[in-house]
Structure 1
């Protein structure tokens, strides 16, 4: 996956800093669906069955949008799923706050922007120009 990290085009395999790597894992690993998601198969990581911290789960529910059309509703759900997936950064004291933006960028494409404001000062800006194709085509 190619994305922008602080304005520079970056390949996920080249990211060595643990924070942007954790963001990628948090967004693009399949979190188990909630019971009210009505997913035919709940997916998710088996390790979430036995978390070391109660309620702790890895990944996001972005995968649930893979068969959806791009609408304002699905873009809002994508933003909400990404926010949910990255909430642990705030809960664990890594970030002071996160800003998530999901916008349509073409007929069949959408952009996901993530800004992480670390507690100790640095700001990380990650932009996934066509994350929708990752969801729909893997």
Structure 2
């Protein structure tokens, strides 16, 4: 099953090889690229060694195509949002924590929320009430 990820703003494809590409900016102004694993619930990522992100840091994620901030402020500023196209057509919102070390992701379609990660319960009530 091949999943594609697109920006909710420009609908540009974020997949590069076996990764999802984001530009990111830390609170202290450092910028870099972060490549996340496209498997929902897999928290492996790749970044340049000089782009230092420590546990607890909350880098902002941006679309590398249109530079839109991918924050999900309608929920909470600690979450970001992209669109997943399952098998190229079945659309889901993917909401994930941007807090480094916090493992929580949500796959949402309509009223159905599927949580992933050991910290998934942290924001689950926000998602259930917002949908």
TM-score, scaled relative to structure 2:
0.33
Larger radius of gyration: 1
Q: Judging by fraction of residues, say which structure has more strand.
A: 2
Q: Judging by fraction of residues, say which structure has more helix.
A: 1
